[in-house]
Amino acid sequence: MLKIENNVLYIENKSTMDLVQEYGTPLYVYSEKKIIEKINEIKKAFTLKYPNTHAAYACKAFCTPYICQLLEREGFWLDVVSGGELYTALRSKFPRERIEFNGNNKSKEELVMALENNIGRIVVDNVAELYALNKLCKELEQKTEILFRITPGVMSDTHDFITTGKKDSKFGIPLDNDIILPAIQYAIQSEYLKFLGFHFHVGSQLQNIDAHLSALEVVLNLIQVTRERFNYEINDFNMGGGFGIRYTDEDFPLGLSQFVDPIMERLINFCNKNSLRIPHVSMEPGRFLVGEAGVQLYRVGNIKIIPGVRKYVSVDGGMTDNIRPGLYGAKYDAIVANKVSENRTELVSVCGKCCESTDILIKELKCPVIEAGDVLAVLSTGAYGYSMANNYNKLPIPAVVVVNDYDSKLIVKRQSYEQMSINEIVEF
Ligand code: LLP
């Protein structure tokens, strides 16, 4: 998706110099070809390879009408986690029956919105939600299909802040018998809820399959227990997302098949051995679909050299448009987009313009001699950049552009000062 021509970085066939000229900086840019490549990878490794499966895009990674519509066309489902994401999906005319709703504290209003719009399924995250949802369905005289998100009690090999499967987690129903079993029984017996099966999400940016496989054992056991205790066969299993991508040379992501095949093999063998029906299987990748397709373009501003210590290179965005380095210590690689072929002779720290010492986008970047006015392209920024953007220091949220071959199109306008302040009342 990236190439070099005359010392300049191109995204597909579009020069980054033209992009910044046309749309300004900071700028989120996506390569459509790359997103489609990832979509096809998921189809090849999962949905086309195994019957009775579907893939839902966890739209928290990048939630805009553009991506909803692209994935609609490609036959994907959508995983939403809030009324706002659901609103974006509905506004994008995403088919309701292909929407699933996750989240540990869905409000009554959000659940009503989901029910009234007849979305595909709700992933129930805790027992309180189970009862509340049942009550709501009764009030609205409506039925809905549900899965249970369970807390499988497994550790995953990723940053502690983005691991979600361990027992001490705010997500999911704990596996203690006196909690999970009555919940299963309640769901099976409910007139309003159709209990489909189990869901887990064990963490993000995973580069090995251990956590998924351990969590799978937990689900297999639950499937069996559900049949033995309640004479009920599970129809559905969702393995969550979390499939890692390449941010820097330090990442060695697995191919998707390396996640999917062992999971499917174990599941199919288990079901065959125990004369169980093989459930419908789904996944919920977010980052995998959009992460590597995104590039952020910044204009270099002030440069500060502390002799014998460091060279700070300030850019015109920062933790407001990419909070991941500050929040998780996430690492990124970057290219000086107008000096791509020049030797990387300098070691610099790239910092944003926010009034925070932690506003460092890249602690150590090897690059050519970098000067004010250069354009910096930070790579693999397509997931959780725009979607976690904020207005700290009253910095407007950048525009988002999609490149397709020689063309580019604006899919999110740059926020103006006026738009940023629209809800703020001026009178004292
Ligand atoms: N399904 C559920 C229930 C999730 O909670 C998540 C992510 C996903 C799917 C998608 O995970 P992915 O495939 O994108 O790793 N904001 C953080 C990560 C937190 C993600 C939380 N849930 C980041 O910037 O890395």
How many angstroms is it from 363 CA to the middle of ligand 1? 24
CATH number assigned to the domain comprising residue 387: 2.40.37.10
Shared-domain flag, residues 207 and 105: yes
Per-residue pLDDT, 340: 98
Shared-domain flag, residues 276 and 304: no
How many angstroms is it from 212 CA to the middle of ligand 1? 14
Q: How many CB atoms lie within 10 A of CB 271?
A: 18
Shared-domain flag, residues 250 and 370: no
Shared-domain flag, residues 183 and 319: no
Element (H, E) at 326: helix 324-328
Separation CA 212–CA 201 (nearest Å): 8
* Residue ranges making up the domain that contains 319: 2-30+292-420
């580069």: which residue's tokens? Answer: 207
DSSP class of residue 398 equals P
Domain tally, the chain = 2
The one-letter amino acid code at 289 reads: L
Element (H, E) at 33: helix 32-42
Per-residue pLDDT, 157: 58
Asked, for residue 51, whether it belongs to a domain, the answer is no
State how far the alpha carbon of 278 is from the alpha carbons of 8, 261, 289, in Å. Answer: 52, 15, 26
Shared-domain flag, residues 307 and 172: no
Separation CA 93–CA 129 (nearest Å): 27
Residue 355 annotated as catalytic = yes
Beta bridge mates, 15? 10
Which of 270, 285, 300 lies at the terminal end of a domain, its last residue?
A: 285
Atom of ligand 1 nearest to the CA of 241: 13
One DSSP character per residue, 60-105 reads GGS--HHHHHHHHHTT-EEEE-SHHHHHHHHHTT--GGGEEE--S-
SS3 content of the chain, % helix, strand, coil (to 5): 35, 25, 40
Asked, for residue 46, whether it belongs to a domain, the answer is no
Beta bridge mates, 400? 28, 412
How many angstroms is it from 410 CA to the middle of ligand 1? 26
Instruction: Give the CA radius of gyration of the chain.
Output: 23
Let me know if 307 is exposed, middle or buried by CB neighbors in 10 A (0-12, 13-18, 19+).
exposed
Shared-domain flag, residues 272 and 296: no
Shared-domain flag, residues 261 and 324: no
Shared-domain flag, residues 248 and 296: no
Element (H, E) at 40: helix 32-42
| Best of 78, 245, 284, 388 for a ligand 1 pocket test (most atoms within 8 Å of beta carbon) | 284
Which of 285, 318, 341 lies at the terminal end of a domain, its last residue?
A: 285
Q: Is 241 in the pocket of ligand 1 (CB under 6 A)?
A: yes
| Best of 60, 238, 390 for a ligand 1 pocket test (most atoms within 8 Å of beta carbon) | 60
How many angstroms is it from 82 CA to the middle of ligand 1? 14
């983005």: which residue's tokens? Answer: 162
Separation CA 266–CA 245 (nearest Å): 24
Shared-domain flag, residues 220 and 96: yes
In the chain, the largest separation of any two C-alpha atoms, in whole Å, equals 73
Asked, for residue 412, whether it belongs to a domain, the answer is yes
Which protein residue has the closest C-alpha to ligand 1 atom 18?
A: 162
Asked, for residue 40, whether it belongs to a domain, the answer is no
Per-residue pLDDT, 162: 57
Shared-domain flag, residues 270 and 136: yes
Which of 285, 306, 339 lies at the terminal end of a domain, its last residue?
A: 285
pTM higher than the cut 0.85: yes
One DSSP character per residue, 211-225 reads HHHHHHHHHHHHHHH
Q: Could you read off the pLDDT tens digit of each residue along the chain, which spans 428 residues?
A: 999 999 999 999 999 999 999 999 999 999 999 999 999 999 999 999 999 999 999 999 999 999 999 999 999 999 999 999 999 999 999 999 999 999 999 999 999 999 999 999 999 999 999 999 999 999 999 999 999 999 998 766 566 555 666 788 899 999 999 999 999 999 999 999 999 999 999 999 999 999 999 999 999 999 999 999 999 999 999 999 999 999 999 999 999 999 999 999 999 999 999 999 999 999 999 999 999 999 999 999 999 999 999 999 999 999 999 999 999 999 999 999 999 999 999 999 999 999 999 999 999 999 999 999 999 999 999 999 999 999 999 999 999 999 999 999 999 999 999 999 999 999 98
3-state SS class at 124: strand
Asked, for residue 25, whether it belongs to a domain, the answer is yes
Shared-domain flag, residues 336 and 272: no
Asked, for residue 138, whether it belongs to a domain, the answer is yes
3-state SS class at 168: coil
Which protein residue has the closest C-alpha to ligand 1 atom 6?
A: 241
Span between the terminal Cα atoms of the chain, in Å: 52
- Nearest CA to 320 among 375, 377, 391, 418? 391
Asked, for residue 56, whether it belongs to a domain, the answer is no
Contact 287, 247 (CB under 8 A): no
Q: What backbone phi and psi angles, to 5 degrees, belong to 287? A: -55, -40
CATH number assigned to the domain comprising residue 134: 3.20.20.10
Q: How many CB atoms lie within 10 A of CB 376?
A: 29
Asked, for residue 146, whether it belongs to a domain, the answer is yes
Shared-domain flag, residues 318 and 244: no
Burial 327-365 (b: 16+ CB within 10 A, else e): ebebbbbbbbbbbbeeeeeeebbbbbbbeeeebbbbeeb
Contact 277, 260 (CB under 8 A): no
